[in-house]
Chains A and B, each alone.
Chain A
Amino acid sequence: MTGWRVLQVVLLALAALLHSRSATAHQATLGVLEFREMRPGVFIGRWTTLPKDGANRIELKMPAHCLLRLPELNCGDKGLVGQMTIANLGEDMSAAIIRVTSLNGETRSYTISAANPVVTVLGTDAPTLDTWLELGKTYINFGIDHILLGADHLLFVLGLIWIVQGGWRLLKTITAFTIGHSASLAATAFGWIGVPEGPLNACIALSIVFVGVEIVKQQRGEIGLTARYPWAVAFSFGLVHGIGFASALAGLGLERRILPAALLFFNVGVEIGQILFVLLVLALIWAHRRLGAVLPSWGAELPAYAIGSVSMFWFLGRLVRVLALA
């Protein structure tokens, strides 16, 4: 057997191993968990449908103020408000439905899957001030988390700061980015527009590649599109990034009635995180100038190439994934 054939066999074996997980996923089934309110804030719950093998593996998490000792769920005066999570879905149970029946007999159903393991509930009665505060706390934190943990969004903002270099122009550019992503986030969350996640993620990576190229152009003395119209570029790519933010929000299984408020709080969180990042970068630029710690002329283009290379790496990876799914 030649080396080429050995390699082919090894590759086939590798491919088979990689696909073995998706093959077993077809055996998963659906679980149904019902909670019935017995007195205000106190529920009795039970699995009405539970796959044989899945029971021990799954992990049920209720809002922090609720005490769950099945069959009882006690949420006190606050009621059943906040996020419910079912972790470890996917191996034996592909999805679960949680049914909550309030004292007045009204039933609400929430679907949880391995891809979307969290669902946010707004209680069984009319929302109170506490409910809105809880919702605000949850989604502002989630927005901050999302932007600070999203390296691609931060890298794009870093590229914009690099090109615009502070002052009112930077404020206008960042505001344009905010308006862009807020508009598309709202439009996507309300279902007015929809873009498949795979190509969208590839476009987000490509937007950072674009910014990297623009930085190199600027350093070579050329005036690129971003240097000329930074707010237009920031707004346009803000639209793309906003759809990406919405996909994170969609993964939380929001009720339609809480969607506008959740969207608002989430966006506030994203803005807080973005402002923190911009301030940190500006502080570091100031510190470097103070220290006179600048890159030598031969390395001035390194950061731009680093941004471009990392984003191109992401773009290729995401493109391959899109093509593999096509």
Chain B
Amino acid sequence: MSLRLRTSLLTALLLLTQVQIADAHIVSARLGDFYAGALHPLLTLQDVVAWAALGLLAGSLGAASGRWLVAVFPLGLCLGLALAVAAGLAPTPPIVDAATILVIGLLLAAALRIPVALLCMLAFVLGVMRGVANAGELVPQTDRVLYAAGLASAGYVAITLIMALVLAFRRPETEPASSWRGIAVRAIGGWLAAIGLMMAGLSLAT
């Protein structure tokens, strides 16, 4: 048997062994950590408000701007989680989270047509911030890959659905921001800004 053939056989054997181990892991974990990652942000006020605000803002800017966030926001979440795990990056203080919600709320209320690049940057930075914050619940037993996949999936599902719902409601391509639907979305922006302001006040008081 030639050396190359033996090496190939050995590599194949090793790969098959790895397949068995990896598969056993998937089966035994039963994806429980995937759901832990997916559900954790839905139980945190900062995540729920910030994600909803971002989805509303992107949806109000139209499909051409918003569709980039389908990929950008989950990527930001994954990077944030990875940075927290690998580099020990600490979550942003509550005042920063509150300020972010305030800024997004104001942008939505003012119906400012921000450029796509700025929207993507905002979504990415928010994703990184919330990814880092969501790493706080990781314990040594948690499967990081499954948790990250769950978090990214939740981000993708939430942002995609919220943007599509806003688009279906608002029809930004055909109606001006001054239509009653546009005003309704802008009013939500005002409420979000108010929530951000209250959260900022609360974080400064404590």
Interface residues of A (CB under 8 A from B): 4, 7, 11, 148-151, 280, 283-284, 286-288, 290-293, 313-314, 316-318, 320-321, 324
Interface flag for B204 (CB, 8 Å): no
Q: Is the CB of B23 within 8 A of A313?
A: yes
Q: Is the CB of A291 within 8 A of B67?
A: yes
The 10 closest A-B pairs by CB, nearest first: A317-B23, A287-B164, A293-B67, A290-B164, A317-B19, A149-B30, A291-B67, A287-B160, A291-B63, A293-B70
Q: Is the CB of B19 within 8 A of A151?
A: no
Interface flag for B117 (CB, 8 Å): no
Contacts of A290 in B (CB 8 A): 63, 163-164, 167-168
Q: Is the CB of B26 within 8 A of A151?
A: yes
Give the residue of B3, B67, B161 whose beta carbon is less than 8 angstroms from that of A283.
B161
Cα(A14)–Cα(B161), bound, Å: 48
Contacts of A287 in B (CB 8 A): 160-161, 163-165
Give the residue of B10, B66, B157 whose beta carbon is less than 8 angstroms from that of A291.
B66
Q: Could you list some 19 contacts between A and B, CB below 8 A?
A: A4-B7, A148-B35, A283-B161, A284-B157, A287-B163, A290-B163, A291-B63, A291-B164, A292-B64, A293-B63, A293-B160, A313-B22, A316-B16, A317-B19, A318-B23, A320-B16, A320-B17, A320-B20, A321-B23
Contacts of A291 in B (CB 8 A): 63, 66-67, 70, 160, 163-164, 167
Interface flag for B31 (CB, 8 Å): yes
Interface flag for B32 (CB, 8 Å): yes
Report the interface size class on chain B. 20 to 34
Find residues 50-78 in chain B having any chain A CB closer than 8 Å to their own CB: 63-64, 66-67, 70
Q: Closest residue of chain B to A293, judged by CB?
A: B67
Interface residues of B (CB under 8 A from A): 3, 6-7, 10, 13, 16-17, 19-20, 22-24, 26, 30-32, 35, 63-64, 66-67, 70, 157, 160-161, 163-165, 167-168
Q: Closest residue of chain B to A292, judged by CB?
A: B63
19 extra A-B contacts, CB within 8 A, seeds A290-B167, A293-B70, A317-B22? A4-B6, A149-B30, A150-B30, A280-B157, A283-B161, A284-B157, A286-B164, A287-B161, A290-B63, A291-B63, A291-B70, A291-B164, A292-B63, A292-B67, A293-B67, A317-B23, A318-B23, A320-B20, A321-B23
Q: Closest residue of chain A to B58, judged by CB?
A: A291
Cα(A4)–Cα(B7), bound, Å: 8
Cα(A287)–Cα(B66), bound, Å: 11
Q: Is the CB of A151 within 8 A of B31?
A: yes
Contacts of B161 in A (CB 8 A): 283-284, 287
Contacts of B3 in A (CB 8 A): 4
Cα(A293)–Cα(B3), bound, Å: 50
Give the residue of A7, A11, A288, A324 whose beta carbon is less than 8 angstroms from that of B160.
A288
Contacts of A318 in B (CB 8 A): 23
Contacts of B16 in A (CB 8 A): 316, 320
Q: Closest residue of chain B to A288, judged by CB?
A: B160
Contacts of B64 in A (CB 8 A): 292
Cα(A150)–Cα(B29), bound, Å: 10
Q: Closest residue of chain A to B156, judged by CB?
A: A284
Contacts of B164 in A (CB 8 A): 286-288, 290-291
Known: A286-B164, A291-B63. Contact between A7 and B70, CB under 8 A? Answer: no
Q: Is the CB of B168 within 8 A of A317?
A: no
Q: Give the distance to chain A from B133, nearest Cβ to Cβ, in Å.
A: 25
Q: Give the distance to chain A from B62, nearest Cβ to Cβ, in Å.
A: 9
Cα(A288)–Cα(B164), bound, Å: 8
Contacts of B165 in A (CB 8 A): 287
Cα(A293)–Cα(B69), bound, Å: 10
Q: Give the distance to chain B from A172, nearest Cβ to Cβ, in Å.
A: 26
Q: Closest residue of chain B to A287, judged by CB?
A: B164
Contacts of A148 in B (CB 8 A): 35
Contacts of B66 in A (CB 8 A): 291
Q: Is the CB of A314 within 8 A of B23?
A: yes
Cα(A11)–Cα(B6), bound, Å: 14
Contacts of B32 in A (CB 8 A): 149
Q: Give the distance to chain B from A76, nearest Cβ to Cβ, in Å.
A: 31
